Chain A
Amino acid sequence: MAAFGSFALLLALALATYNLFAGTAALRLLANGRPARISSDRLADTARRAGIASFVAVTAAAVALVWSALTNDFTITYIAEHSNRALPAPYKFAALWSGQEGSLLLWAWLLGGYGFILRLTHKTEVKLHAYAGTILAGVEVFFLAIVNFAAPPFSLLKGAIPNDGNGLNPLLQYPEMVIHPPLLYLGYVGFTIPFAFALGALMMRYPGETWIKVTRRWTLVSWLFLTLGIVVGMHWAYGVLGWGGYWGWDPVENASLMPWLTGTAFLHSVMMQERKGMMKSWNIWLIFATFMLSILGTLLTRGGLVSSVHAFAQSSLGTWFMVFLAIVLAVCVLTYIFKRNHLKSEQRIESLVSRESSFLFNNLVLLTACFVILWGTLFPILSEFVEGSKITVGAPFFDRVAIPIGIFLLFLTGVGPLLPWRAASLQAIRRNFLLPALAVWATVIGGIAAGIRPWQDSTFDIGRFYALVAFALAAGVLTAILSEFLRGAGVIARQTSRNLFAAIYLLIRRNTRRYGGYVVHIGVVVAMIGLAGAAFNRNVESELALHDRMGIGPYILENAGGSQDTNTNYNSESVLLDIYRGGKRVFQVAPERRTYLASDQPQTMAAIHSGPGGDLYVIYEGTDSDTGHPIIKALLNPLVGWIWAGLVFIVFGTLVALTPSLMPVAATVRMPAARTAPAEAALKGGD
């Protein structure tokens, strides 16, 4: 299998290289317009097919690696290091992305997969797809070169073949870990497609903004995967790392957040280009930056530049990524310099108070957030360079700097959709902002009345202050979005005499992108409420002998005994805790400690009980060395469930936005027909 896998990878590289060179040659022929021995169309078509074939070859290699894991082929170093016989089959499958070589292969495979779809759907805009496909081939060549030469997944073990492998890192033996990396990679890799289209459109001086419409779905899908990957990763950290939190501002987490921020900025500001032909250079650079940041993230973590809990082996890969990044940057800068006159804006922003400028501020905030995270992540390196000593830039730094930015962003989420395009008159502002402003103040008063007081016992609790502000803004944003839906539906209901629900449904169907976007905003707001709720988290830690009790919030925890268990994969030890509330036993939890046999690594398994009042999160920390009694840490996280609920809205909203809008009958008909057709298009809005 190893020989076949290596062969397939080499073949994939050769085919991608052919795609790159033949594609470039064909596009040059086409640009020069000189007759040649072979028609440029024909040459371009073989290049495109080579790209498709390259994906088939990478697929063969990926299948070979998974097959080797499933069949315990420990002659392959990678399998011996990341799997063992007793590992359950789904985790063996996940071995594909549990180590460096495998995850790079996954990266190359996903890239090929996206390219496969792109090259199959080339008929919509043949020339644009030819450019994008060729640029994509360039990126493929890089990743395939890495898996062939720098991090070969099929290299054979030297010396005696072990009877069993080292096993998978216990932290990764968790169902979400099977899906988190592929989701994240689908996001990262996906941004290559809009990047390729944007660069291609610039290279060929594509007239108009339709390339954005072509890439819109790609961008949204990548964004959705990246969002899913990040949040599933948070949920994994929450469930597995066992410290009761979900975000530690670790360099790898930061690396995933940066392209997310620029990608989000792109999704917003691109609407201005589509609609009004503005901000062309800006958008091009946003998508360039998004792509480069996803490569930079890999460079930071794989290259061993920064230390992280996601410790992949440090390796020479950093140099590869650095060189690649430099090439990408050079290509982007040069293309931009030579073609920038193609990107002149057709219009300009006319007022500081308008939808346009709210997009601009949204971009400003998202990019500042991105800069802050990049800055915090790289500052230790900078400090070492300047001062000669390394320092830590951890959660306290990011919390302090990022939370105000997040709150400002929440504010803009509410303001943006309410502002009209071009310019808002004072009257319009008063009309649109009255209700949301009332909601904000009502929440502030309600919150203080309900006991969310930043000033308590003569100290100022900044966490509670932020939470109160976030809740108030969240209420304002939700009111704003709701009123957008109701107003729109009202117009439809009046004119078609539908009931309100049917009108809302039709409203969404007519402009899936805008109203899907609003649903995503609802999700973001809900998630923000969950994040702000961290200010109310509580925890207690205590040694609990049998039948000892400890209390947290409304709950009493009582040690009801322990148990031990052994299977082929791990030994486990757990403490059974009865949970009482109001004097009645309501449920039991059993936090656990495992020791994985193959790797001899211990692991805590927190017990999480989610109820309407929040999560009760219980960790078995170990036993007291003197008394031998278990030490239990309990956390009460009242609003954490809102974060995961927010994700549901975000996914649903994005799926809505991905659905094509209903086109009004008259909209696509040309002028003569439109004169007679009932022009029922009035309600069809654009973004």
Chain B
Amino acid sequence: MTEMQGIIAGAMLTLALGIYIFWPENAPANQSEKSRLDYLLERKEQLYENLRDLTFEYRAGKYPEEDFVAQRSLLENETALLITEIERVERTRPGRIALRAR
């Protein structure tokens, strides 16, 4: 490949990439903010996981009974408070429920 050919090939590459970049896209991905509700639902999912894990490890014999009961109680309280908050947020933003329910 001569130098001239190389430059021509480079120019063609530039053109192709330029078209790709600036090709009109009517629906670019929307940069929506994550809502408080999303965050709370994620937290709830995680707390459920933690609870399931706790139960599993207990059944696998890794926890004595009283440790298990105490820790489960802690986690359940935390989750219950979280769920009340989720319900409060959902009540104040009725539009979200329909959108979120799967």
State A431–B63 Cα separation when bound (angstroms). 8
Report whether A491 and B25 are in contact in the complex, using a CB–CB cutoff of 8 Å: no
Q: Is B94 an interface residue (CB 8 A)?
A: no
Q: For B22, what are the chain A residues with a Cβ–Cβ distance below 8 Å?
A: 46
Q: Is A57 an interface residue (CB 8 A)?
A: yes
State A420–B56 Cα separation when bound (angstroms). 12
State A682–B20 Cα separation when bound (angstroms). 49
Report whether A487 and B42 are in contact in the complex, using a CB–CB cutoff of 8 Å: no
State A123–B31 Cα separation when bound (angstroms). 10
State A649–B33 Cα separation when bound (angstroms). 41
Report whether B17 and A684 are in contact in the complex, using a CB–CB cutoff of 8 Å: no
State A56–B32 Cα separation when bound (angstroms). 29
Q: For A15, what are the chain B residues with a Cβ–Cβ distance below 8 Å?
A: 17, 21
Report whether B63 and A420 are in contact in the complex, using a CB–CB cutoff of 8 Å: yes
Report whether B10 and A431 are in contact in the complex, using a CB–CB cutoff of 8 Å: no
State A115–B19 Cα separation when bound (angstroms). 20
Answer whether A683 and B56 are a contact pair too, CB < 8 Å, given A50-B21, A127-B32, A208-B43: yes
Q: For A4, what are the chain B residues with a Cβ–Cβ distance below 8 Å?
A: 1, 5-7, 9-10
Report whether A3 and B3 are in contact in the complex, using a CB–CB cutoff of 8 Å: yes
Report whether B50 and A686 are in contact in the complex, using a CB–CB cutoff of 8 Å: yes
Q: For B71, what are the chain A residues with a Cβ–Cβ distance below 8 Å?
A: 421-422
State A427–B61 Cα separation when bound (angstroms). 11
Q: Is A326 an interface residue (CB 8 A)?
A: no
A122 to chain B, nearest CB (A): 6
Which A residues from 582 to 641 make CB contacts under 8 A with B? none
Q: Is A540 an interface residue (CB 8 A)?
A: no
B72 to chain A, nearest CB (A): 11
Please tell me which one of the listed residues B30, B39, B102 contacts residue A669 in the complex, with CB atoms under 8 A apart.
B102
Report whether A682 and B34 are in contact in the complex, using a CB–CB cutoff of 8 Å: no
Report whether B6 and A206 are in contact in the complex, using a CB–CB cutoff of 8 Å: no
Report whether A57 and B30 are in contact in the complex, using a CB–CB cutoff of 8 Å: no
Report whether B21 and A41 are in contact in the complex, using a CB–CB cutoff of 8 Å: no
Q: Is B59 an interface residue (CB 8 A)?
A: yes
A 661-687 to B, binary, CB cutoff 8 A, 1 in contact else 0: 000000111110000000001111111
Report whether B29 and A45 are in contact in the complex, using a CB–CB cutoff of 8 Å: yes
Q: For B28, what are the chain A residues with a Cβ–Cβ distance below 8 Å?
A: 39, 41-42, 44-45
Report whether A1 and B1 are in contact in the complex, using a CB–CB cutoff of 8 Å: yes
A127 to chain B, nearest CB (A): 4
Which B residues from 1 to 47 make CB contacts under 8 A with A? 1-7, 9-11, 13-14, 17, 20-22, 25, 28-34, 36, 38-39, 42-43, 45-46
Please tell me which one of the listed residues B11, B31, B38, B62 contacts residue A487 in the complex, with CB atoms under 8 A apart.
B62
Report whether B6 and A1 are in contact in the complex, using a CB–CB cutoff of 8 Å: yes
Count residues of A near B (Cβ-Cβ below 8 Å). Answer: 65
Q: For A60, what are the chain B residues with a Cβ–Cβ distance below 8 Å?
A: 13
| B interface, size bucket | 35 or more
Report whether A3 and B52 are in contact in the complex, using a CB–CB cutoff of 8 Å: no
Q: Is A49 an interface residue (CB 8 A)?
A: yes
Q: Is A130 an interface residue (CB 8 A)?
A: yes
Report whether A432 and B39 are in contact in the complex, using a CB–CB cutoff of 8 Å: no
A205 to chain B, nearest CB (A): 10
Q: Is B85 an interface residue (CB 8 A)?
A: no
A216 to chain B, nearest CB (A): 14
Which A residues from 187 to 210 make CB contacts under 8 A with B? 206-210
Answer whether A130 and B31 are a contact pair too, CB < 8 Å, given A427-B64, A488-B56: yes
Which A residues from 19 to 46 make CB contacts under 8 A with B? 30, 39-42, 44-46
B61 to chain A, nearest CB (A): 6
Q: Is A437 an interface residue (CB 8 A)?
A: no
State A60–B67 Cα separation when bound (angstroms). 61
B 58-93 to A, binary, CB cutoff 8 A, 1 in contact else 0: 011111101100010010000000010000000000
Report whether B54 and A421 are in contact in the complex, using a CB–CB cutoff of 8 Å: yes
State A18–B39 Cα separation when bound (angstroms). 33
State A40–B33 Cα separation when bound (angstroms). 14
What residues make up the interface of A, taking CB atoms closer than 8 Å to B? 1-5, 7-8, 11, 15, 18, 30, 39-42, 44-46, 49-50, 52-53, 56-57, 60, 122-123, 126-127, 130, 206-210, 274-276, 418, 420-425, 427-428, 431-432, 487-488, 490-491, 667-671, 681-687
When A and B form their complex, which 3 residue pairs have the shortest distance between CB atoms, in order from nearest? A7-B10, A3-B6, A686-B49
What residues make up the interface of B, taking CB atoms closer than 8 Å to A? 1-7, 9-11, 13-14, 17, 20-22, 25, 28-34, 36, 38-39, 42-43, 45-46, 48-50, 52-57, 59-64, 66-67, 71, 74, 83, 100-102
